[in-house]
Structure 1
Amino acid sequence: MYRIALLSSLFLLSLASANAQNDTLFKRVRYIKGDIKAFGVDNLENIYVLSSLGQLKKLNEKGDSVAVFNDIKKYGEASQIDVSNPLKVLLYYRDFSTIVILDRLLNVRTAIDLRRQNMFQVKSVALSYDSKIWVYDEMDSKLKKIDDDGRVLLETPDFRQLFGDAPMPVRLFDQDKYVYLYDPARAVYVFDYYGALKNKILITGWKNFRVAGKYFFGTSADQLYRYDITTFRYDEWKMPENLRNARQLDFSAGKVYALQADGIEIYNLQ
């Protein structure tokens, strides 16, 4: 708990001392047009775009289509795409409590009906480092790791016992030996691979939250934020108008991806 307090204090100090860095350039490098409702970016800079009709298409870094998933009516509307591993893509259909696992060519490998495992209130999922799957079960207030058959491999204690009021994470990320749960009303909760709480970082109110490499990214109003997990450095930039008005923002270590009405703009963050 001492480390939690220390990291929180360091973050607050860096936040208080941070100044807007208006000299930062957002240099647009590409525009990919199309009918795009949501998207995700993997670590090879492939972009996975979900159309308004539910078609999932994989585009390479040049914007060329390399794979398509067309089984759009079976599970309804996808609520989340996890493309952190290009070899194993997750589509989560919250209304049906179903995770569909695709291979690198977007062929279906399997589907997991979480209701068969008595998990009826899962808001977010994430692929783990060992190709298993993290889920946050709101009914039990537990973080759980499951395999491709839906079997629970490990689970945390009830968060209501750990924290009093259970967190309500909107996103999960598995990155560099840690699991991150982001509750925009409370904090970023950091767990190790065994489900033990390691840190609690007081970042709240961010939209478009993303863990990318050693950074947290997020936005609020017209500001873009970046927090270095290793050095506790906090950077803040004022975004140009077209980024402020984007429907969705996503990030890699050096790029910003902005979903507009007719496509995705890609910027180098310098």
Structure 2
Amino acid sequence: MKHIFILFFFYSLSVSSQEPISSALVTKTVLQADAFVSTNNFDTTFYIQDNVLFKNSKETKGIDIGYSNFQLGNISTVNTFNPLKINLFYKDFNTVVILDNRLAEIFKIDFNTLPEYKNVSFVSTGSDNTLWVFNQDTQQLELFDYKTNSTRAKTLPIQSPVLDIKSNYNNCWVLTDKQLYVYDYFGNLLKKMKNEGYSSLVIDNENMVFKKDNALFYLKKDSGTVAPISLPNLLINQFFVTNETLYIYSDGTLYQFQLKIN
């Protein structure tokens, strides 16, 4: 099997000389939830309440529809990048459930029962019928085809503890306690960046927003300099970014901010 070698770049994520990015409050909405997941420009909001994933949108005429599977324990993560193939990860049972846009179950992957067992700790959406999964036993990121139960690609082992992963159809971002790694669809390492204390991230058109303590920072695509985002004093329970619009869930209120990116 041929190996493709790609030169990658090393960046240090520095905030020392970057001017803060300003933000303007657009709206704030009451939202009673245990956890906010995501929203978009079409007024579709996903959130978790009492271990049930809820969706509120115009197509549901303001009525919240929900999905629950209490036999699988607590929902660990939800990825709504592909609204036609939403994935719910139940870490305690090593299982992923795929939902359609009506929150109807269309596929279930039990990693315990695969011919090649996988001990999965993180999951994110891939293209077609694939998921990015982090195999805790091998310390490798894998692109897994859940229709054929086969691994299309895998990375070299990642040496430091993984904090978060995010993806789109082409790339996957893996945040560890020491580095941020960016991989392509074939498992090749494209970029490597030092982590300066960030605990989670969100991807917006390959731009990145990081959380550190109770503050957010913005890294523009192909830039090596992180800029702090200027925000009012809010407790950031969860956050999400789409098309330079930032959503922050704080103590029962969902805030929408417009970021002013130069």
The equivalences for 1:187-266 within 5 A come to 187-242=179-234, 245-266=235-256
The CA distance in 2 between the partners of 1:32 and 1:49, in whole Å, is: 12
CA contact (8 A) 1:43 1:84 kept: no
Distance 1:157 1:55 in 2: 33
Decide whether the 8 Å contact of 1:125 with 1:171 is kept in 2.
no
> How do 1:28-177 and structure 2 match up within 5 A?
28-41=26-39, 46-51=44-49, 53-60=50-57, 65=62, 68-117=65-114, 118-149=116-147, 151-159=149-157, 166-175=159-168, 177=170
Unaligned runs of 5+ in 1: 161-165
State the distance in 2 between where 1:32 and 1:62 align: 20
Label 1:88 to 1:2 Cα distance change in 2 as closer, same or farther (>3 A): closer
Q: TM-score, normalised by structure 1?
A: 0.82
Identical aligned pairs, as a percentage?
17
Task: Give the structure, 1 or 2, with the largest relative contact order (CA under 8 Å, sep 6 or more).
Answer: 2
* TM-fit CA distance, 1:180: 1.1
User: 1:133-184 deviations in whole A, cap 9, x for unaligned?
Assistant: 1101010111112223471232325416xxxxx132232222362221111x
- After superposition, the CA RMSD in angstroms is 2.8
Length-normalised TM-score, structure 2 = 0.85
Q: CA deviation at 1:253?
A: 2.9
SS in 1 for 2:102: coil
Counterpart of 1:8?
11
Separation in 1, partners of 2:150, 2:132: 10
Please state how far the C-alpha of 1:259 moved relative to its aligned partner. 1.7
Runs of 4+ aligned residues of structure 1 deviating over 4 Å after TM superposition are 42-45, 61-64
Deviations 1:100-128 (A, max 9, x none): 00001100001110111354531111111
Q: Mean Cα displacement is larger for which, 130-139 or 95-104? A: 130-139
Provide the rounded CA distance (Å) in 1 between the counterparts of 2:211 and 2:134.
Answer: 24
Distance 1:191 1:20 in 2: 28
More helix by share: 1
> Which ranges in structure 2 are unaligned for 5 or more consecutive residues?
none
Of 171, 177, 193, the match for 1:178: 171
Q: How many residue pairs get matched?
A: 255
* Contact map agreement 1:97 1:122 (CA 8 A) in 2: yes
